[in-house]
Structure formats: C-alpha cells, structure tokens
Structure 1
C-alpha cells in the first residue's frame, strides 16, 4: 500500500477527547471490557458507541474509529474481536496493553462501517508515517523525535496531506498518547513480550482486510510483514526480528488465524463467519456451551500462552545469538578462565565460545540472560561444563580455580567488566553443583 498517497483526516482525533486521569490507556482497556462484556463475539457499532459513552470520558468515536476493528455484516455495522480485544479481556491493564494499543493506532487498519468514507478504513496514516519516516532510524527508534513540536513540524512540512485547520491539536494528542503508553522510553522491542502479540494483531487486521490469507506460506506472509514496515512500526531490530516473526507467523497459521477465538469460548458470531469462510468441522461448540460462554462477564478461559510460547520459541535462537556475540565482543574473546584470546588464523582473528554458567535447559532452567553468560576458550568451556574448572565466588571477589592438574591459572582473579552486569550468584550455583563448595 502506498501510505504516502493517503489523505489524512484526523477528524475526532483532533478534538479534546479527554482520556482523564487514568494511567496509560486504562480508559481504552475499560471501554473494551465493557463493549465485550459478553465475550468474544462481535458487537453492533451503535451499541458499542453507547457503551463507550457511558464508560469512558471523551468522544467514543476515538476508540471506534482509531483503535478497534469495524466490519459490515449483512448490512449491519459491528465491532469485532481481535488480539487487542483478547488481551484487554484476558488480563488487567498494564504497559504491554498500552503499547499494543498504540500499535493498533499506528497500523491504521480499522475496517469499514455503514456510511464510512473510504479514507476512514485507514484513519491514521499521519501517525504511521511519522513513526516510519521520522522516528525510525533503520534499526531502532530515535525517541528524541517524539515531541509535540516535532510531530507538528512533520505534519506541517508538506510531506503530509491532511484536512484540518491546524495540525497542532492532533500533534499534541498523539504525543500525549505516546507519553501515556510509555513509548517515549522505547528504542528496541524485539525482546519485549508484547511484540509478538502486536504481530498477531497486525495479522488479524490484515486478514480481516484480505491483504493476507491463511493459504499463504509463512515465508510469504513474512515478506508481506516486512514490506509493510512492521519492524519500523514496532521498533524491532531488522537483523533479528525476522527470526522471531517467522516462528510467530507459523504459530498464527497453526492456530487458524481468527479461528483461534472459536476455541476460547467465542460464540458462532465471530469474525470468521463474515469472512466468507466456513469454519472447519468440529470447531464450533454446542449451542448450550456457546450460550453459557456468552454470559461470562470476564472470560476465565482466555489465555495468552499460545502467543507468548511462540514468542519464547522464536526468541530463544535470537537471544542466544545476540547475547553470546555481545559478551564475546565485550571481552574481546578473552577466556574467563585463562584470560587468553585464542588466535585462529594468520590475520590475528580471535575466537571464543559463550557459555551459560547455569544451563538454560531442563532440569536446571538457568536464565537466558547476559548476567548468566561468560566467554570461554574451547578447552575451558568443556572443562567448565564438566566441573574440571570452576569459579570461587570468594565473598564477591571471584577467583578462578582448577580441579585438575591445570594450575597455570589457579587463583587468578576473574576479570568482570561493569557493563556486563554478570551475576556472581550463578558461579556460586555452579560451584555448589559440582561439589566444590559445601
């Protein structure tokens, strides 16, 4: 899609929609819970508008026109559930919800409703373009750009086509939402839990807009995601994000996209039935079960574990590689045990291996974190894993020890750099595990 050619009409967003004193986007969270109080089924748009007007301060068109997804089914306008709705129903309001909601705004895909004008299906190209063209520097966000003055300057520069008397009001409103959602402190997100939920949300919106389909391969969907500036929109490192995204997309396809709501207590009135697709045999529940689920005020069987599991699986490889390379580079490949950087070729290139002091796999379940990683030469990596060499915590002044005949380094002070933030508690665990400390 050519976002630069879309006309920007901020409409109700430029009004003083008054989010009140609630922290973050708490009022939006409250409004979603009120609108979907009967579970994951679509709600008539007019009904949703009345509910939001009673629930939250300000213009109810802001959440309806900029954050939630609209759909016309048999001539009637509805608000339909997606990942943003699921997360609002499944857990209390928190910072992750705020950041996900801002992603929904920046994705600028809200469907259509009766009498909606064509441009309203993509209501915030101004917010999207500001992030992609100004805040994104190619591999992370430059949050110094997110000020009301800089937003207004971007809108006034001629780069934007917008209909408003002045861009000042919606510039200050947009800055306020960034501030409320704690995005002003965000530079890189690929290790954030909400990031994979945002990808689920993006895929939901694109599936509802028919920009992608479940018949596409994960690789083809990944290519589409990249073409739509997803890394820029979510502050994800483009060198690492594709590894995480591919696994999340595969999980999304395995769950059947929007069909996953049918297995979370949703009634038959879910978005799938209006996509022109027939639900797979066996996915619909009995009428009695659906009716009982629809009565729930706060669904108790909703879980985010499938999304978070996909995120964890995807990130394991990314984090391992990123953390390992960072630690080895920090110490210039010098082994924690002997202090030597192994030279491996005539050019002087050095080599080391990064090892978790407390193993991350079962049954030990050590943290996959920088503070649990040290660089080793290959020999001492193997010896450390077998307990042949170890590190005495020595009351916070750790020293290297040998349990073999290799005594050339025995008693050597462990060299730790402050920026590493290594946790001595893990070498203490290692020493106890191999019986070197009682």
Structure 2
C-alpha cells in the first residue's frame, strides 16, 4: 500500500558512481568496505571512513548514504559494523556478497548523520517499492520484465517520486540490479545469502528503532521482519523460508544481535545462557558455521566466539574449514550414515541404505 507521506528523492544516486561492468558484481563496494573499516569489525567515524577512501580515489557518498547504516555515538557520526561489513571483511568478493549488498540497498535503512535530510534515513524507498510492489506483488518475482524502461515507468507514475529526472535513476538502478544479481534472488530454496540477509535486516531494523529510542525485544523480531517486507525483498516466498525464519530469529537472539561482533559481550552472554559450559576460546578466530539440525540449508556464518550460543539455539557447529568447504549433499549423507550407525549399535536394522535414503530425499 502506498504511503502518501513518503517522499522519494534519489539524491546522489543519479550520478555516475563508476563501479564498472555488471559482470564485476559489486566488487568495488566490497573493496570500499574493506578500506573504510580498515579490516576492523568496529563502528568507524564517518569522516574517518571518508578520509581512508579519499587516498584511493574511490567514491564514498553512495556507500555511506545508501549501503551502510549511520548513527551518532557521543555526538560523532559513525558508520555501523554490521552483517554487511562482517561478510566483506571475512571473505573475498563473491556472488553471495553481491546479493547481500543489493538487499542492503533495497531494504533502505541508512540511519541519520549530521546534515542529513529526513528522507535520507530511507534513501532508496523507490527501489524498495519497485521490488515489493512491482516485482514481488505484480510480477511474482519474474525478473525477466525488469529493465530500465520498466523501472522508469514505475517511478514516473508515482506521486511519491520528487525529482526532475527519472531516466538516470532507472538506468543506474538497473545497472545495480545486474551487478547485484537480482535474477538469482528468484531461487525458492534457502541459500546462504538469504540467511545473511535476515541477520542484516535485524541489525538495521533494530538500529533504526534505537534512533527513535525504541528498544526491541526478541519476541518482536519476526513481526518486524514482516513489517519491513523481508520476504518480499528476498525472492519467492516458500514454506521452507517461513519455517527457517523462526530458527534464525532464535539464533540471532542467542548470539546477542549486533553484539555478536564483540568477544566481550559474547563471553558475558555465554556465561549467562550456558553457565555449565566453559566459554569457547577460539584459537582460530575465523568465523564458524551454525547449521540447523532440521534443515542443513539453514547455514549461518557467525563469529567464532558465538559457537556455544549457536548450540544453545539448537544449531550444530561447523569449523571454519568445514564452513568453507561445505557440501550440502555430503553433509546430509554423513549425518544419515551416522544415524544409521547409531541405530545399528542399538540392534535396530534399517530397511534401506544411506544411498537409498538420499535418493528418496532427492525425489528420485
């Protein structure tokens, strides 16, 4: 439903932001985040971020005004280290990052900074509305109809759009859709980028509410995701995705929200929630994997210190190497064989082999 109180102003998005060919994906943004945060998972002053980028000659307004979240800390404008930054700092550029970054843009929560106009808090609502109202609602997530002409017609005919030009916005947005691999968001299965998007959505929603001095309780997470249009923004809705949201919300809560990036906060949370288990001190500080026992497609990369908290939420732990080389079919096969072995130890004979069970699960 259109909100006539919304005002859509494209701002600097109508400029040429020089990110190269769509075939390169959003690799330029990936490098910008690495430079701006200097490899540290910590909020960085906005001016310091810009200073670090200036030496490289890279544009900074699009990343800091459209892709990142801004907030004031002790009177100084900062850029938040959240799930998007976590993925950029810990992995090389991949298509998974492109899809997460595109989601961050489409979700359009950018926070507040000194001198920002009111509408800059949600700077790309025109893109958000195009995905939710046009692509999801009218086209059923069939991306074949998405192009610059269709985007231009959408914004041109909407009273919420307040700018002189529509063509440059349309061509830039279509370029971003190509680089961000919008077509790959059509997938009906849960994939790792989708799981990452859910964590990023909660990071941004909670921070945005804090700007209005609103605390957020874990019981509200699922409904806030729904209000923000998370499902509509991330491809075709399925029952598998709806069921996964419940498990991922529990994992996000167990890990402490954005405090998961603080070892100190994570240690305190572990001692509170899992008092009988010694805090997991990781010799290997690379992120680990949390995989849900009911559906191995629900796989989330988490900071190493969150391993015990993930177990508390009903997830199994994957080592950094297992996470890096994760193979879904091999994982299911090994888990199935282990279950059959346990049954055999109890003198319970299965009626089919692990291979036969795998075929049954694949629908063969």
TM beyond 0.5 = yes
Distance 2:25 2:354 in 1: 49
Task: Specify the structure having the higher radius of gyration (Cα).
Answer: 1
**Which structure has the highest helix share of the two?**
2
In structure 2, the CA distance between the partners of 1:155 and 1:79, relative to structure 1 (3 Å rule), is same
TM-score (norm: length of structure 1): 0.62
In structure 2, the CA distance between the partners of 1:29 and 1:77, relative to structure 1 (3 Å rule), is same
Distance 1:248 1:234 in 2: 15
User: Which ranges in structure 1 are unaligned for 5 or more consecutive residues?
Assistant: 265-278, 284-299, 319-355, 367-381, 392-415, 423-438
- Report if aligned partners of 1:108, 1:124 keep a CA contact under 8 Å in 2: yes
Distance 1:213 1:197 in 2: 23
Distance 1:360 1:140 in 2: 34
Distance 1:213 1:86 in 2: 23
1:301 equivalenced with 2:291 (yes/no): no
Distance 1:245 1:139 in 2: 24
Look up the match of 2:304. Answer: none
- Report if aligned partners of 2:108, 2:128 keep a CA contact under 8 Å in 1: yes
- Report if aligned partners of 1:151, 1:171 keep a CA contact under 8 Å in 2: yes
Distance 1:182 1:27 in 2: 15
Distance 2:296 2:363 in 1: 20
Look up the match of 1:24. Answer: 25
Look up the match of 1:167. Answer: 166
Distance 2:69 2:39 in 1: 17
TM-score (norm: length of structure 2): 0.74
Distance 1:139 1:245 in 2: 24
Query: Deviations along 1:265-311, whole A, 9 cap, x unmatched?
Result: xxxxxxxxxxxxxx68847xxxxxxxxxxxxxxxx7241524xx2xx
- Report if aligned partners of 2:337, 2:354 keep a CA contact under 8 Å in 1: no
In structure 2, the CA distance between the partners of 1:181 and 1:256, relative to structure 1 (3 Å rule), is same
In structure 2, the CA distance between the partners of 1:315 and 1:133, relative to structure 1 (3 Å rule), is farther
Query: Deviations along 1:312-333, whole A, 9 cap, x unmatched?
Result: 4464499xxxxxxxxxxxxxxx
Distance 1:14 1:34 in 2: 24
SS where residue 84 of structure 1 aligns?
helix
SS where residue 199 of structure 2 aligns?
helix
Compute the RMSD of aligned alpha carbons.
3.5
SS where residue 209 of structure 2 aligns?
coil
In structure 2, the CA distance between the partners of 1:317 and 1:44, relative to structure 1 (3 Å rule), is closer
SS where residue 208 of structure 1 aligns?
helix
Q: CA deviation at 1:155?
A: 0.6
- Report if aligned partners of 2:190, 2:297 keep a CA contact under 8 Å in 1: no
SS where residue 49 of structure 1 aligns?
helix
